Amino acid sequence: MADKTPFEPDDSAGTSGMRRGLTSYGDQGFSLFLRKAFIKGAGFTDAALDRPVVGIADTGSAYNPCHGNAPQLIEAVKRGVMLAGGLPMAFPTISVHESFAAPTSMYLRNLMSMDTEEMVRAQPMDAVVLIGGCDKTVPAQLMGAASAGLPSIQLITGSMLTGSHRGERVGACTDCRRYWGKYRAGEIEAEETADVNNQLVASVGTCSVMGTASTMACIAEALGMTMPGGASPPAVTADRIRIAEQTGAQAVQMARDGLTIDKVLTPAAFENAMRVLLAIGGSTNGIVHLTAIAGRMGLETDLAALDRMGRDTPVLLDLKPSGQHYMEDFHHAGGMATLLRELKPLLHLDAMTVTGRTLGEELERAGPGFRQHVVRSMADPIYPQGGIAVLRGNLAPGGAIIKQSAADPKLMEHEGRAVVFENIEDLVTRIDRDDLDVTPQDVLVLKNIGPKGAPGMPEAGYIPIPRKLARAGVKDIVRISDGRMSGTAFGTIVLHVTPESAIGGPLAYVRSGDRIRLSVANREIALLVSDEELARRAEAMPVVEPSAERGYLKLFLQTVTQADQGVDFDFLRAPKSAGKVPR
């Protein structure tokens, strides 16, 4: 019978396209017959179904304005796929926005990565386009795609436009924090906070400064996972739509060439991404996410080596919060090509990208640079070392980090008295009380906001300046926690203290009145309390690790790793080690 052949899964078309991953009915031919029957219910022809299939992970959501352009992007990706002879198939996955996820978006990043991995694996597709933008979405998609192993290409939603408040240019979210700080200090009235609230987010798209979203966009391009120039176009521009079309077309080519994600996510690619993270003054969250993505490829992040890399990688990108510009300015300055050209001597130019060409070949194709003011030269950096420094000491045996490029130089060598908050509730209750015993020379310590403690390692590490100090004009104070902070935040803030307090890390045993020494020059964070005294405290007050009876929270608490392993679930990391990065 002539019409039987199209339903044989091992016919000349092999196991590509709609023939991939057939549902288990115990009869492969029937599985394909049934699949085709159902999809034909949506009006598809056999000619369409014989094309290479490109899945498009749709993370549009009414709860995610950072992805508000997803419908336009999907339309453009589909156009690109069809122009290149493929069949586009959009499918939904979890979408996570920073301000609409309780207790914190980080709690859901791994769930989104599992969703992405399993839907990419379960559904028939030869390549996948990952549409992400808001902070946790790009890492979640790269983690999931890395584990799924298909040809994969990242499409960034793009940054929002900046707004204008009473003649001043503003953008989320560095300016959100700045204006809120002014309000807390009594410098502006409630009426002005309402006015500026209308201007901080001037369009759909991701935060307009070098926050986590912009950081991950730059990292994705540095990893070779986006089209060249894919990191910087703002969400509402024609450039962004053109990148989307190119992304769709390239996904078809990747499917034809068998350019799987493991050929792109190599140790060299991760080292390039780490260089870029340091050179852009990127979000501290970038380390956690890169560590998690690398972990899916069997690569462990060597924090000491990363710190050494930071010592000869200056911050070149003049964007808030480390500098003064916004993402749209970076785009006008040539975007990542301008930055990578400057960083060229420090990069692995032979690293493969999703185009099938190396990073070096793409830089050649990008042509010469031009005069601009957003990316500095190596000879004239905005900060002489990488944006992030790794600290160690008896308070953080597994490491801690500080964004030195956004810290107060006067506080980076500092010893002070600890003022301890046991958890977020304690902080909220006491931080603004007039009788809080605190001075600008003290060190604020917040416990129990690590991966298990909060849970989900929320961005509460940006501990607010106590109101009475803020009103006295204090703009910065040393702060320490086992949590994270937004990439849009700034200050002398030590984060990711590992191991976290909730599992009995030394941070759990700090008491108000203890002395703490921070020396960024020596990469040290020290609790000036003897080991014997700490052991006595641990014995007197043993830590009970958080647990849950059921559900995702139970899975989370039982399997989440510490910051030095990317806060991924242990069972999602690659089973075999492939070495360390940077090497």
Q: Which residues bind ligand FES (CB under 6 A)?
A: 66, 97-99, 134-135, 173, 206-207, 211, 213
Q: Which CB sits closer to ligand FES, 135 or 300?
A: 135
Q: How far is the CB of 11 from ligand FES (least distance, A)?
A: 46
Helices (H), 516-583: 531-540, 551-559
Q: Residue 428's closest CA among 414, 443, 448, 408?
A: 448
Q: Which CB sits closer to ligand FES, 68 or 582?
A: 68
Half-sphere exposure of 401 (CA within 13 A, CB side): 27
Q: In Å, how far are 314, 383, 487 from 280, measured between CA atoms? A: 9, 10, 11
Token pair in block for residue 176: 């959100």
Q: Which CB sits closer to ligand FES, 99 or 439?
A: 99
Q: How far is the CB of 352 from ligand FES (least distance, A)?
A: 28
Q: What are phi and psi of 61, to 5 degrees?
A: -160, 140
Q: What are phi and psi of 362, to 5 degrees?
A: -65, -35
Contacts of 494 (CB under 8 A, 6+ apart): 391, 396, 400, 401, 402, 478, 479, 480, 481, 518, 525
Q: How far is the CB of 496 from ligand FES (least distance, A)?
A: 20
Contacts of 194 (CB under 8 A, 6+ apart): none
Q: How far is the CB of 116 from ligand FES (least distance, A)?
A: 18
Q: How far is the CB of 175 from ligand FES (least distance, A)?
A: 12
Q: How far is the CB of 172 from ligand FES (least distance, A)?
A: 6
Q: Which CB sits closer to ligand FES, 204 or 268?
A: 204
Question: Residue 449 CA to chain centroid, in angstroms?
Answer: 18
Rounded CA-CA distance 141/110 in Å is: 9
Q: How far is the CB of 277 from ligand FES (least distance, A)?
A: 17
Q: Which CB sits closer to ligand FES, 173 or 294?
A: 173
Q: Which CB sits closer to ligand FES, 485 or 510?
A: 485
Buried b (16+ CB within 10 A) or exposed e, 318-331: bbbbbbebbbbbbb
Q: Which CB sits closer to ligand FES, 99 or 559?
A: 99
Q: How far is the CB of 104 from ligand FES (least distance, A)?
A: 12
Q: Residue 389's closest CA among 400, 378, 376?
A: 400
Q: Which CB sits closer to ligand FES, 289 or 447?
A: 289
A 10 A CB-CB count for 519 gives: 15
Q: Which CB sits closer to ligand FES, 134 or 445?
A: 134
Q: How far is the CB of 211 from ligand FES (least distance, A)?
A: 5
Crossing angle between the packed helical segments 190-197 and 174-184, to the nearest 10 degrees: 170
3-state secondary structure 361-397: HHHHHHCCCCCCCCECCCCCCCECCCCEEEEEECCEE
